[in-house]
Amino acid sequence: MKRHTTVPSDAAQLPGLTQFLQEFWSAADLPPAETVTFELALEEIFMNVVMHGSPEGGVPRVEVSLALCDGCLTLMIEDDGPSFDPLSLAAPDVTASLEERRVGGLGVYLVRQMMDAVSYQRLGGRNQLSMTKRVREPTP
Amino acid sequence: MNVRLESIGLTTVVVLEGRLDFGAAAGFQARLGQVLAGAETKPAGVIIDCAGLDYVSSAGLRVFLLAARASQRAGVAFAICALTPAVREVFDVSGFSRVIAVYADRAAALAQTPPRPA
């Protein structure tokens, strides 16, 4: 099962994208407990694109696609904004004290920890971030 | 996200319902700022009741972090309680459960958040 949608790189698109994900979830009858990982990944990575990618002369387009294969769900977020690898961000110190805590990089850190696999490539003038996690046992 | 305030003794309980995402974070931050400043007198404690909170992202974690820090500086006890499994997972993975007091339910948080009026 596969679905995709394309939106402008604009924070106002987030609720619609979340709904796109939730509709996929219902249609594929996936376990509710796993949805948080994907909702979080969608928000964190999409907002990263919104914050980092506005070249002169236009708003980047962001394509979000979902593909379910053998119980593994892959969320791919692609944009035609400036080259930016979110996986290059330094991991935050999650053991720092309250006063020393920083939130920068925390979103990407959460995504890396909660997904089974995350990979980035720059291809054809587009950033592609692919995130995969097993959401149910493979069918025998 | 809905935010409702309850006063129990000198403690203000902030009851959250819905999703604390990027879109909700700024409004929630402003509201918590008002709570910490206090309408007339600042509260002795602030408890965030998350029993109705379905989702939190890093934008929401940032608001919790700033509020916990502001509380510490102001001498106000700050605690979070009743995390749903989805929110609990984000708190645990981010390490926030280690720097912010998190209680199983409101009663446990209130018991640790003095003082009640004499």
Q: pLDDT per residue over A14-30, tens digit each?
A: 999 999 999 999 999 99
Question: Contacts of residue A118 in chain B, CB cutoff 8 Å?
Answer: none
Q: Is A8 helix (H, G, I), strand (E, B) or coil?
A: strand
Minimal-distance CA residue of chain A relative to B56:
A40
**Global pTM?**
0.93
ipTM associated with this complex: 0.91
Domain B2-81+94-103: which CATH class?
alpha beta
Contact B65 A97 (CB under 8 A): no
Contact B95 A95 (CB under 8 A): yes
Which residues, 6 or more positions from B114, have their beta carbon under 8 angstroms from its beta carbon? B44, B45, B77
Q: pLDDT per residue over A76-111, tens digit each?
A: 999 999 899 999 988 899 889 888 888 778 999 999
Structural domains of chain A, with CATH: 2-134 (3.30.565.10)
Contact A103 B62 (CB under 8 A): yes
Give the separation between CA B93 and CA A94, rounded to whole angstroms: 8
